[in-house]
Structure 1
């Protein structure tokens, strides 16, 4: 695959309607007032003037993801002063707590999370907060009756780490200093997480936090680029994405690397050069995006997960696919989007879907959050047997695995909390011989990483070979299976594979009447035909090949089964 490099170099914040952005900030949010703890059962926000100048709020508006308030009335917010803003029906109940004004069409704040924005009269973003339930950092308080409070007003765009549930006994501090008020310095530079394409002439860069929008919007900030954008637009209201519009179209089938030098956040922290890949995504087709690992029977404190791998040679967009299962009637059900936003997956990359990434990282050596998608409600994957599917946007089935608990390694006493790993992404999805229990040394699961039981790179040559020559089926992730590889001058041969002990007794008929391609492999897990463990020692593998013309060939090899 051809690799092109687009190097983007990011060289404080724009004035917004006469004031610097973040001159006025949202510093407290009562999104879920019920059950009331000690405050009125009303939704409200509290804003603060951080600047040294009086700010007239006339014409300003408050918005969430789905709606926008009417204009705020004339109100002169003095320096270092606070103001509660609420719906008209809540004004009288909140006035006793301090300065309060009402606005028409006050947005209905989502209890589970919302994107809350404060706009000036000119429509420019003054401050925005994209909160969710994890910001409370308290399982009891997130159930309602408690406000979210900003900790350090000098770092208004830090995000989750700078917010927590109120500590005040009444459940919040409207009109007063936040109960969690303190210092939460931001010393971390922004991280360029990924990029995706809007079209072949527009690229979005995604950061983990707000970036300096003035610098990011200057085309001269990208003068060292191999392909210079004609325009650059930081995306409101969070300004954690930047859209680059290119004068020349990117070519399909090529992978580009975006390298950025010294992007800066709103606290002035500058990062070293960081790189991400981007490309024009191909259509999702069967065999490109495949199911690579399944945890369908987690421990009581865990959750299901499904790992996907891009087994093709083109970049794909996960937002164009769905995860699903089959119900009791066999119908496809429970569709959930693989990604709520555009997310590119490049050849060989892994992606994990689960209900709770935090629990996943507690139980397994899991990857960075960029490789995990939180799914509000995973499809139903029963503990004994079920079906995992990946579909396209029109319901076309891209991959399907009819898994069973019986696919686990037969000698395992406990399979709860153990994932099933696909041995070869290019081999048949529904073949139980292409699946194996994750190894004990990997923690019984490898979400986001190469499977512990994946097919190794071949080190053996010749028409027929055993790899490795010594194996130990103890499920520790090291040579747990024997791979019998073949490379034939032609396809269409029929195979029988038998395994004998040194006394000539048949212990395992591995293959009977298998139709072969020109190359491939079989696997032996070290068990006999009854699924029982056998004694360590040397075993003879006899491969008999036949074709339609009556020609036959036989290959005899020796493999050592070692004790664990």
Structure 2
């Protein structure tokens, strides 16, 4: 069945006018009230208004209506393609004039560059274009799509956007914001504008466009048990709580009037009755006289609901306390995957309708009651009998297969609200033998459930797991502080993502005025991003390229309710990289046993560069490319390390800067060396930014075993592919400096007087202390095509060894570590280096440099 993008735009103005206005179902000829590019549109066989333009271009249609109180403007739109910047739609919900640049306008746009297409609502007033709200980035990126969209105005000038799947009777939570226009009743125009290429000139269609009067009263869309005698009911729209504050408007089972009614928000009323609800009993709530802000009054309505045994778990009340992703080889436990959950509360919790995810699929949990402070084992139905002797066991249909290498695990309640989220990886074992299988991972921080990463450790129980009982690892450390902004990422010129170091309160009240982007950027709306520790800000004004900003917020709470009063972080809109902007800076390809490789990238440009679009690869392995996934930015002049497990990396290398380290999948690299390519993908081509082939022979000859030691580039300007550009990291810095400037860092010098090269120092002391460990010669000013030979002589004129022979290039560095022809350390003393240069044109020259070898 072909799916289409169907957008319903509902626009309601508060009043009680009964004027009818118009409706068009397009079941005949095009009404003469429509004007604009009429010849570009036709009524098709499905009784829809369809674009039928002869060529690529733009087409518009307009129709007048009166912008009075209680007007509802409706439009169903079909887009049979994936929206883009060249194939996009603008719906003018209200415009003071029938033209696209009218001053006084509310418009909906669908289609943009990149893969973050969504709907965006703009207000144009007093010459200023402001973004009022938008959908989830990427929600309309791939067509055909289906979405239900509505926009309702409530006095004085509050607007609520509703967006969700086009499914009947699906409750949708709206986002409310304010606008400066329109000021009152006035003439207005509804319009559509299609922008299209040759292949999309007939792919837009419209139906059921109308401007009518809003007569829909509010209704209850859901409920939640709030206590033994208290229940909260949610309405589908804002209501006038002052007119609806009487308990007599509600009646339970036809006889019980609530003893107390409290409107806890514009849409939620909390009713308290004189007796406790009976678990499992079906109830009926009769309500009437509920008035919305447009004056529509609900007539007597029945809402049926049922109270469950136990209550639904709330945020952080239910933990994923243990996971067995790889039960083979078995030891003393069943050879089956399982996940253990823990009830941290003094209440009975009901799993009915709750959902569990392994990051790729969701399963609904059965009706099961977990007692206070108890544990329950979730496992495949076929494994229930094997686990029942260990404790409470819940068989789950279609139990997801857990990835041995790692997953993101999540619990959500029946209303899709967050309960708990965690992730595990092979690094959590900290031991290669345990990582091979048969050991469970236990959640350590029972009293700190909001940490965003880490938290698991391998079971130290003799059975290699503790299913159904308390873990062998339990930390009593409590989380006493609120979340802090970890980093900020500009998703586009209109949208910014804030990433926190803790999981956030899912019921966080996100007032735009509590968030700021300085200098001078207003926040239009705030919502959660892809993860529970990410918030996305929609901005009133676009970000400027090359300018630094500070994003901050006041009183943000983590999933346990702990509040941070103020937190902020700087950011800038990133640039698109070109060759030379990003270079390889450090690589660890032979890590200590049971630990992980890392690579480091350095930003040589004067602007921030985003991870998005960057791709890593190792052509020598034949493996696929590895795109970077994180919403991170490399600052100008900054360094960023990439590894499988940043926490593990920091535990091995004290110099590691975790703020500049990200968890990313890396291409496989052999301990003896490999090839790394850094590229940028713009959607059409793959642009190589930097690449080099390296080996363990590039390490300092006196470093000994290279295991656990990184190679550092000694100057960012040097070509990555030359061995002389690299050196072993200093022992004094722990043999690696991930996420920060390198320990081996030498500034390039200009050429000597009359020489096409420079020498860093006339002395070499290869003792690994970081001072003059190498003799470094730089060809700072030389043409291409020159061949160089560098030979070492003692003071008697006897040849000792050849240091280098080959073609040289501008800025090429040659390093010598004091070794002789058999790689042995030469006798300390004074030597002469003879540099001979030859060019194919016949030119040649020779220079001599004194070298002192020290111990």
Same fold (TM over 0.5): yes
**Cα distance change of structure 1 residues 310 and 503 upon mapping to structure 2, 3 Å threshold:** same
**Cα distance change of structure 1 residues 149 and 504 upon mapping to structure 2, 3 Å threshold:** closer
8 Å Cα contact 1:323/1:379 also seen in 2? no
Q: Report what 2:658 is aligned to.
A: 369
Structure with larger RCO (C-alpha < 8 A, sep 6+): 1
**1:497-520, CA deviations, whole angstroms, 9 ceiling, x for partnerless residues?**
989989796979999998887xx5
**Cα distance change of structure 1 residues 88 and 276 upon mapping to structure 2, 3 Å threshold:** same
How is 1:259-270 mapped onto 2 (pairs within 5 angstroms)? 259=552, 264-267=557-560, 269=562
**Cα distance change of structure 1 residues 290 and 381 upon mapping to structure 2, 3 Å threshold:** farther
Tell me, in whole angstroms, the C-alpha distance in 2 between the residues paired with 1:418 and 1:434: 16
Q: Report what 1:425 is aligned to.
A: 716
Aligned with 1:387 (options 675, 680, 700)? 675
Tell me the number of residue pairs that the alignment of Structure 1 and Structure 2 aligns.
Answer: 538
8 Å Cα contact 2:320/2:342 also seen in 1? yes
**Cα distance change of structure 1 residues 17 and 181 upon mapping to structure 2, 3 Å threshold:** farther
* Greater fraction of residues in strand: 2
Deviation of residue 121 (structure 1)? Answer: 1.8
8 Å Cα contact 1:325/1:381 also seen in 2? no
The answer as to 2:763 corresponding to 1:471 is: yes
**1:97-130, CA deviations, whole angstroms, 9 ceiling, x for partnerless residues?**
5554444333333344322222222221222232
Deviation of residue 326 (structure 1)? Answer: 3.9
Tell me, in whole angstroms, the C-alpha distance in 1 between the residues paired with 2:713 and 2:449: 45
**1:174-222, CA deviations, whole angstroms, 9 ceiling, x for partnerless residues?**
5555555663322455343322232222222222321344457332322
8 Å Cα contact 2:653/2:737 also seen in 1? yes
In terms of Rg, which structure is larger? 2
How is 1:274-353 mapped onto 2 (pairs within 5 angstroms)? 276-297=569-590, 304-327=597-620, 333-337=622-626, 339-353=628-642
Tell me, in whole angstroms, the C-alpha distance in 2 between the residues paired with 1:109 and 1:500: 61
Tell me, in whole angstroms, the C-alpha distance in 2 between the residues paired with 1:101 and 1:210: 27
8 Å Cα contact 2:580/2:690 also seen in 1? yes
The answer as to 2:362 corresponding to 1:68 is: yes
Q: Report what 2:744 is aligned to.
A: 453
Tell me, in whole angstroms, the C-alpha distance in 2 between the residues paired with 1:524 and 1:147: 50
Greater Cα shift, 214-223 or 457-466: 457-466
Gaps of 5+ in 2: 1-221, 227-313
Aligned with 1:230 (options 524, 527, 537)? 524
Tell me, in whole angstroms, the C-alpha distance in 2 between the residues paired with 1:230 and 1:57: 37
Name the SS of the counterpart of 2:486 in structure 1.
Answer: strand
Q: Could you tell me the TM-score, scaled by structure 2's length?
A: 0.52
Name the SS of the counterpart of 1:220 in structure 2.
Answer: helix
Name the SS of the counterpart of 2:724 in structure 1.
Answer: helix
Name the SS of the counterpart of 2:514 in structure 1.
Answer: helix
**Cα distance change of structure 1 residues 480 and 200 upon mapping to structure 2, 3 Å threshold:** same
Q: Report what 2:80 is aligned to.
A: none
Deviation of residue 172 (structure 1)? Answer: 5.0
Deviation of residue 478 (structure 1)? Answer: 1.7
Aligned with 1:21 (options 315, 320, 340)? 315
8 Å Cα contact 2:518/2:549 also seen in 1? no
8 Å Cα contact 2:483/2:557 also seen in 1? yes
Tell me, in whole angstroms, the C-alpha distance in 1 between the residues paired with 2:408 and 2:393: 22
Q: Could you tell me the TM-score, scaled by structure 1's length?
A: 0.74
The answer as to 2:405 corresponding to 1:116 is: no
Deviation of residue 150 (structure 1)? Answer: 4.5
Q: Report what 1:252 is aligned to.
A: 545
CA RMSD in angstroms comes to 4.8
**Cα distance change of structure 1 residues 71 and 514 upon mapping to structure 2, 3 Å threshold:** closer
Aligned with 2:493 (options 196, 200, 205)? 200
Q: Report what 1:220 is aligned to.
A: 513
Tell me, in whole angstroms, the C-alpha distance in 2 between the residues paired with 1:251 and 1:120: 41
Deviation of residue 495 (structure 1)? Answer: 9.9
How is 1:81-160 mapped onto 2 (pairs within 5 angstroms)? 83-95=376-388, 98-135=391-428, 143-145=436-438, 147-150=440-443, 153-158=446-451
Name the SS of the counterpart of 1:433 in structure 2.
Answer: helix
**Cα distance change of structure 1 residues 287 and 189 upon mapping to structure 2, 3 Å threshold:** same
**1:463-500, CA deviations, whole angstroms, 9 ceiling, x for partnerless residues?**
86966565334253223455667988x98998989899
Greater Cα shift, 226-235 or 168-177: 168-177
Tell me, in whole angstroms, the C-alpha distance in 1 between the residues paired with 2:642 and 2:764: 32
Deviation of residue 65 (structure 1)? Answer: 0.9
Tell me, in whole angstroms, the C-alpha distance in 1 between the residues paired with 2:637 and 2:438: 46
Tell me, in whole angstroms, the C-alpha distance in 2 between the residues paired with 1:33 and 1:207: 34
**Cα distance change of structure 1 residues 190 and 454 upon mapping to structure 2, 3 Å threshold:** same
Tell me, in whole angstroms, the C-alpha distance in 2 between the residues paired with 1:496 and 1:98: 76
How is 1:42-81 mapped onto 2 (pairs within 5 angstroms)? 42-51=336-345, 54-70=348-364, 72-73=366-367, 75=368, 79-80=372-373
8 Å Cα contact 1:334/1:380 also seen in 2? no
Tell me, in whole angstroms, the C-alpha distance in 1 between the residues paired with 2:352 and 2:761: 80
Gaps of 5+ in 1: 1-14
Name the SS of the counterpart of 1:89 in structure 2.
Answer: helix
Tell me, in whole angstroms, the C-alpha distance in 1 between the residues paired with 2:597 and 2:445: 37
Q: Report what 1:434 is aligned to.
A: 725
Deviation of residue 240 (structure 1)? Answer: 1.5
